[in-house]
Amino acid sequence: MKKICILSVLFFFTLGLLAQNNNTEYWRDLGYKAKLKGDIESSIKNYKKILEIDNEDYDAKLALANLYYSQKDFEESLNYYKLIYKIDNKDVETLNGFGRCYYKLGELDKSTYYFQRAIEYLPSYIQQYFDLAHIFIEKGELDSAR
């Protein structure tokens, strides 16, 4: 009888762990906490777990794009922004992400294009104007920067 009780407890404990591991919110919480601690590699692994469970998860893709950007891995950041862009080519966070990445990669014309698109969809967001002005200054287009 004692063995049956122990086995039952172990079974339900294991079942609970399996359910928890397939829960995107569990991995999202771990990813967020790792990011707050500065453990970017663990954060990336946890957000990737979310995409293994639900490959359409917008927040995980955006978090990964931003995490790779913070690591200065602009190509990988672009890959995650592109996943979002395929589904929603008017997503302002993605358009601004493209603009920032292309700027860091020295592709100023592409960067300009994406910041201008972001402004079309969300003209009240001030930061993208500053980002665009920096690009115009770097291109020597001071009138446009103003």
pLDDT in tens, 14-57: 444 444 457 999 999 999 999 999 999 999 999 999 999 999 99
* pLDDT for 21: 52
Task: Please tell me whether residue 39 adopts helix, strand or coil conformation.
Answer: coil
Q: What are phi and psi of 38, to 5 degrees?
A: 85, 10
| Total Cβ atoms within 10 A of residue 120 | 11
pLDDT digits (tens, 9 = 90+) for 77-104: 999 999 999 999 999 999 999 999 999 9
The predicted model scores a pTM of 0.81
pLDDT of residue 2: 54
> Could you give the percent of the chain with pLDDT greater than 70?
86
Q: At 144, is the pLDDT very low, low, confident or very high (cuts 50, 70, 90)? A: confident
